[in-house]
Amino acid sequence: LNRLQRLIAEVIDDTGPLDFAAYMDLALYHPEFGYYAAGKARSDWSGDFVTSPQMDPAFGGLCARAFERVWEACGAPDSFAVVEIGPGEGGFARSVVDAAARSAFGEALQVVLVERIPALEERQRALLDGAPVTWVSSIEAVMPVAAGCLFANEVLDNTPVHLLRKTNGVITELYVIHENGDLRLESGSPSPAIAHEAQALITEVPDGTTFELGVDADRLLETAAGKIDRGVALLFDYGDTSEALRDRQEGTVVCYSARGVDDRPLEDPGTKDITAHVDWTRVSRVFSGIGWQVSEPTPQHSMLRSLGAAGVIDALREAHDRAVERGDGAAALQALSRRGAVSALLDPGGLGGLTVLVATRGVGALSF
């Protein structure tokens, strides 16, 4: 057992089996050994995977166009907040601020970063020195926003989930137990927090299926949405509708690490990312339940194209050609590699295949 496993084993010995959400929370966010909380770079080129904002600033630049439209729909107020949950290395905020610079929208823009991990906040502060950005350590601490946007990229799939299984017509919850010096999963009755919901799913879930319930994400989003009076939420993530997720017999828990992709979340916690697909039907219900209008989830590539991604690629092609003409090899190479990065953001088999959920409140019918 590694150090975090030993620590988790001790918690289980003291307090009993852990539901998977509690386990995932420790594996990712234990202050000292958790995969994210340990403070190493995870989501950029020096980490285990590259997210869209870290792939190329065009991602943030295109989203800034959406934010600007929302700002206009709100009547171009003097102050407009973009609240980002889980900003990682801070690349998104940097590119939004840069894209909005020297515009009336940029004058109004205030970015609020919700960051729980001090080491990440420190790196974000260095990257965003002098930018109109403030930090809070929890969504609860965000001040009410009269007009603004909520944004999160690849955060909801890192939000702890309960793990359940339907076998022979009965739904059980999977708990992490400590036995013979090892951690493993064992079925038990669903915990009180989800028992009612689990029972209600009995007819929806096919027999022999493992599935997740993301109740923590409900709470996070309900609190976040409650902070914004008028505006839009843009949530980018790996996810699908409830119906489609029920067809995945083994569930969607997947781990990413320096060693690659695997489906063994109990092995070597703290050294790997643990993710579960977002249930967009569930997220939509959270937003509509508190008076937001929710659109059908859209693929990232469609959303970025409708915000003008093709124009970005054209501009990079022209920049490349101009650099070649004047014999500036470094600039030509940079434009070429950025074109590749923007194409990766649009690749339906890669980052372009993530889904975007758009929810609006008080801004009429906005489509992107």
Ligand X SMILES: C[S@@+](CC[C@H](N)C(=O)[O-])C[C@H]1O[C@@H](n2cnc3c(N)ncnc32)[C@H](O)[C@@H]1O
Asked if 271 is part of the footprint of ligand X (rule: CB under 6 A), the reply reads: no
Q: Which residues, at least 6 apart from 85, have a Cβ–Cβ distance to it below 8 Å?
A: 114, 139, 150, 151, 152, 155, 220, 224
**Cβ(361)–Cβ(355) below 8 Å:** no
Which residues, 233 to 262, sit near ligand X by CB under 6 A? none
Going residue by residue from 136 to 155, which x/- string records binding to ligand X, judged by CB under 6 A?
-----------------xxx
**CA gap 113, 132 in Å, rounded:** 11
**Cβ(368)–Cβ(307) below 8 Å:** yes
Which residues, 328 to 357, sit near ligand X by CB under 6 A? none
Q: How far is the CB of 323 from ligand X (least distance, A)?
A: 29
Q: How far is the CB of 221 from ligand X (least distance, A)?
A: 10
Asked if 6 is part of the footprint of ligand X (rule: CB under 6 A), the reply reads: no
Asked if 160 is part of the footprint of ligand X (rule: CB under 6 A), the reply reads: no
**CA gap 42, 73 in Å, rounded:** 36
Which residues, 173 to 232, sit near ligand X by CB under 6 A? 220
Asked if 53 is part of the footprint of ligand X (rule: CB under 6 A), the reply reads: yes
Nearer to ligand X, 119 or 336 (CB): 119
Nearer to ligand X, 86 or 132 (CB): 86
Asked if 274 is part of the footprint of ligand X (rule: CB under 6 A), the reply reads: no
Q: How far is the CB of 218 from ligand X (least distance, A)?
A: 12
- Could you say which of 54, 95, 209, 210 contacts ligand X (CB under 6 A)? 54
**CA gap 25, 36 in Å, rounded:** 10
Phi, psi dihedrals of residue 120, rounded to the nearest 5°: -70, -40
Helices and strands, counts by H and E, the chain: 14, 18
Asked if 114 is part of the footprint of ligand X (rule: CB under 6 A), the reply reads: yes
Which residues, 33 to 52, sit near ligand X by CB under 6 A? 36, 43, 51
**CA gap 334, 324 in Å, rounded:** 11
Q: How far is the CB of 56 from ligand X (least distance, A)?
A: 12
Asked if 297 is part of the footprint of ligand X (rule: CB under 6 A), the reply reads: no
Return the exposure string of 33-65: e unless at least 16 CB atoms fall within 10 Å of the residue's CB, then b. bbbbbbbeebbbeebbbbbbbbbbbbbbbbbbb
What does the binding site for ligand X look like in residue numbers (CB under 6 A)? 36, 43, 51, 53-54, 85-89, 114, 116-117, 153-155, 158-159, 220
